[in-house]
C-alpha cells in the first residue's frame, strides 16, 4: 500500500515538474521545408519547425525535439500536442517563437488562425 502511494506521489511530482518547465511562445506555420538552415536539401519529413533566432543559437538547436501545445486564442486550438524537430531558422519569429510545418500546426490548431500562443517543452 505504501509503495503504491509513493508511486502515485512520484508520478504527480513528475507531471508538475514537466508542466512547470513549459516555455510560452508564439507559433506560425510555413509550407516550404527544403532547403533548411540545419540540413540543406536533406528532407527531414513534415513534423518539423523553424526556431526564432534566440532559440536557434547559431544552429545549436538543430535536431532538438519539442512537444508543442496550443494555448490560444480561444477557438483556434484543437487540443493535444505535437512533437516536432527543429530543422531551420525563422529569422522573423519573435523571441521563443516556432514556425511549425503546416502539418504540425494543423495537428494542434486551425490553420486559419495563422498565429497561436503555445507552450513547448524539450523531449
| 8-13 contact pairs (CB < 8 A, 24+) | none
CA contacts within 13 A on the Cβ side of 54:
7
User: Which of the following CATH numbers is that of domain 23-122: 2.40.40.10, 1.10.3260.10, 3.40.50.12780, 3.40.50.2000?
Assistant: 2.40.40.10
> Residues, the chain, total?
123
Reported as a pLDDT band with limits 50, 70 and 90, residue 20 is low
Pairing of strands 65-72, 97-101: unpaired
How do residues 49-102 score in pLDDT, each as one tens digit? 999 999 999 999 999 999 999 999 999 999 999 999 999 999 999 999 999 999
| Chain Cα centroid distance, residue 31 | 16
Compute the average pLDDT of residues 103-112.
98
- Average pLDDT score over the chain: 88
Share of the chain above pLDDT 90, in %: 82
Kindly list the distances between the CA atom of residue 39 and the CA atoms of 27, 44, 45, in Å, as whole numbers in the listed order. Answer: 21, 8, 12
Amino acid at each position: 500500500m505504501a509503495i503504491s502511494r509513493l508511486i502515485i506521489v512520484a508520478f504527480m511530482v513528475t507531471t508538475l515538474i514537466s508542466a512547470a518547465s513549459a516555455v510560452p511562445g508564439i507559433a506560425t506555420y510555413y509550407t516550404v521545408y527544403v532547403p533548411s538552415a540545419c540540413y540543406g536539401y536533406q528532407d527531414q519529413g513534415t513534423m518539423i519547425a523553424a526556431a526564432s533566432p534566440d532559440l536557434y543559437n547559431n544552429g545549436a538547436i538543430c535536431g532538438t525535439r519539442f512537444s508543442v501545445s496550443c494555448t490560444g486564442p480561444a477557438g483556434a486550438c484543437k487540443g493535444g500536442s505535437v512533437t516536432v524537430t527543429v530543422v531551420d531558422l525563422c529569422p522573423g519569429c519573435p523571441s521563443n517563437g516556432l514556425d511549425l510545418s503546416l502539418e504540425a500546426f494543423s495537428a494542434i490548431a486551425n490553420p486559419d488562425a495563422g498565429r497561436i500562443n503555445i507552450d513547448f517543452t524539450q523531449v
